[in-house]
């Protein structure tokens, strides 16, 4: 009960200091505010970016290897002149892997082209046309919000059934429901819309653009386009208890067998682990966090001196009150605790103002960035913890001076 009283009194004194000396207190707490704004702003942005990248990696396929002629990433010297000469993956190679692999859970062949879509008087240019096989939706995180997905019958017989992206449905038909059953034209060919995909937003990793695409059964796609000129690749997802590295080793042997490569010949294909795309950004995230802490550290240091200055002034202004409290029995630790709590409350007030500014920033940035920014609860707890620790450290010396005062000398200071 006594501790609660001390905490309450310290809180009231902190508010009184803020109310009586508004400008002085605000200027002293401004460093705390800026410091919390910098570090929490950076942490919230990086955390939101990480979540976006993680979600996109899951969209590309968990535990999935992409077999392509190109190696993804392109860091350092990128020998594109060697990769361009490699043979493109084929549908028959996918079927060969399907028959030979014991570690693969799902396989899909993928090819893409660009086309101009039209319906009535409306048209869309540079639309992605994706040719896919049966297991594509098992590997990719895609959901149909209206109609249905491409059926087994459509895949087997190569019908012109198509599932379109959310943005295409909106721009050509107004909404997803109105698109079902309509016939669209593309590159002098026709397709019947059987489903509309859920809205997914922009991609940061340069993956699939599902909002502006149409999905076609591979056999129908192959009857329209030249597969070798359609950037084909094979997607292989490992079984749940198999590591991507183990699957990659197996696929390497299968592909070398399929392409009849001798032990002396190097691989003429690439095995790309999509999880590494997200991991490659961890260094960038770490650098951004370090930069945020560096800027915040300087601001918090300035803020700490400001709070310490407030507490020195407060101790001097309340010297007689301190003497009176000690004269009527207040112990050193009680005086010490009161001033430390008051210092901590002042820092928390500055930190809350910084959090408020970050909240405004998240609203503004979420409207212009391709992903929403939010402040996670653990980041808020971190901010408040920093403020409390900084407040205690800033108030130690002034609080110690107050606790050690001689009551007689203090009372006479009037």
Predicted pLDDT of residue 391: 83
Predicted pLDDT of residue 30: 76
State the pTM of this model. Answer: 0.68
Among the three residues 273, 299, 322, which one is the final residue of a domain in this structure? 273
> Are residues 351 and 383 in contact, defined by beta-carbon separation less than 8 angstroms?
yes
- State both tokens at 201: 């937003």
Whether residues 37 and 117 fall in one domain = no
- State both tokens at 101: 């692999």
Half-sphere exposure of 411 (CA within 13 A, CB side): 8
The count of domains in the chain is 2
Whether residues 105 and 161 fall in one domain = yes
Residue ranges of the chain with per-residue pLDDT less than 50: none
Predicted pLDDT of residue 150: 96
Burial class (CB in 10 A: 0-12, 13-18, 19+), 255: buried
Whether residues 213 and 125 fall in one domain = yes
Among the three residues 251, 273, 295, which one is the final residue of a domain in this structure? 273
Predicted pLDDT of residue 160: 95
Output phi, psi for 148, to 5 deg: -140, 170
- Give per-residue pLDDT as tens, 101-136: 999 999 999 999 999 999 988 889 989 999 999 999
- Give per-residue pLDDT as tens, 151-173: 999 999 999 999 999 999 999 99
Which residue range is the domain that position 78 belongs to? 64-273
Choose among 294, 299, 158: nearest CA to 218. 158
Whether residues 313 and 399 fall in one domain = yes
Whether residues 326 and 262 fall in one domain = no
Whether residues 299 and 226 fall in one domain = no
Whether residues 314 and 173 fall in one domain = no
- State both tokens at 302: 């300035």
Whether residues 51 and 71 fall in one domain = no
Whether residues 236 and 104 fall in one domain = yes
Among the three residues 273, 292, 326, which one is the final residue of a domain in this structure? 273
Burial class (CB in 10 A: 0-12, 13-18, 19+), 125: exposed
Whether residues 229 and 100 fall in one domain = yes
Whether residues 108 and 228 fall in one domain = yes
Whether residues 22 and 160 fall in one domain = no
């Amino acid at each position: 009960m006594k501790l609660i009283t001390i905490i309450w009194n310290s809180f009231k004194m902190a508010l009184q200091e803020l109310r009586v000396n508004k400008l002085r207190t605000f200027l002293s707490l401004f460093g705390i505010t800026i410091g919390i704004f910098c570090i929490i702003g950076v942490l919230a942005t990086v955390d939101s970016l990480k979540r976006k990248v993680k979600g996109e990696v899951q969209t590309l396929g968990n535990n999935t290897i992409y077999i392509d002629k190109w190696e993804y990433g392109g860091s350092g010297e990128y020998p594109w002149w060697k990769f361009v000469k490699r043979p493109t993956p084929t549908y028959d190679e996918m079927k060969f892997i399907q028959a030979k692999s014991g570690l693969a859970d799902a396989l899909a062949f993928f090819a893409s082209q660009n086309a101009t879509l039209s319906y009535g008087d409306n048209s869309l240019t540079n639309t992605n046309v994706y040719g896919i096989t049966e297991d594509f939706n098992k590997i990719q995180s895609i959901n149909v919000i209206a109609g249905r997905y491409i059926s087994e019958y459509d895949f087997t017989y190569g019908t012109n059934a198509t599932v379109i992206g959310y943005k295409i449905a909106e721009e050509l038909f107004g909404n997803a429901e109105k698109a079902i059953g309509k016939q669209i034209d593309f590159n002098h060919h026709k397709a019947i819309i059987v489903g509309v995909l859920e809205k997914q937003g922009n991609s940061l990793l340069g993956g699939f653009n599902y909002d502006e695409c149409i999905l076609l059964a591979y056999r129908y796609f192959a009857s329209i386009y030249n597969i070798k000129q359609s950037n084909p690749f094979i997607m292989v997802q490992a079984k749940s208890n198999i590591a991507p590295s183990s699957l990659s080793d197996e696929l390497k042997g299968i592909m070398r067998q399929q392409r009849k490569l001798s032990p002396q010949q190097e691989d003429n294909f690439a095995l790309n682990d999509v999880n590494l795309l997200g991991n490659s950004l961890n260094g960038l995230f770490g650098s951004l966090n370090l930069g945020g802490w560096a800027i915040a550290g300087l601001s918090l240091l300035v803020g700490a001196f400001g709070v310490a200055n407030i507490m020195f002034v407060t101790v001097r202004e309340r010297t007689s009150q301190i003497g009176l409290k000690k004269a009527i029995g207040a112990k050193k630790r009680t005086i010490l605790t009161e001033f430390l709590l008051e210092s901590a409350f002042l820092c928390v007030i500055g930190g809350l103002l910084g959090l408020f500014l970050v909240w405004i920033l998240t609203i503004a940035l979420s409207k212009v960035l391709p992903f929403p920014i939010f402040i996670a609860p653990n980041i808020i707890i971190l901010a408040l913890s920093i403020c409390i620790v900084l407040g205690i450290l800033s108030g130690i010396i002034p609080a110690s001076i107050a606790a050690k005062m001689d009551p007689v000398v203090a009372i006479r200071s009037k």
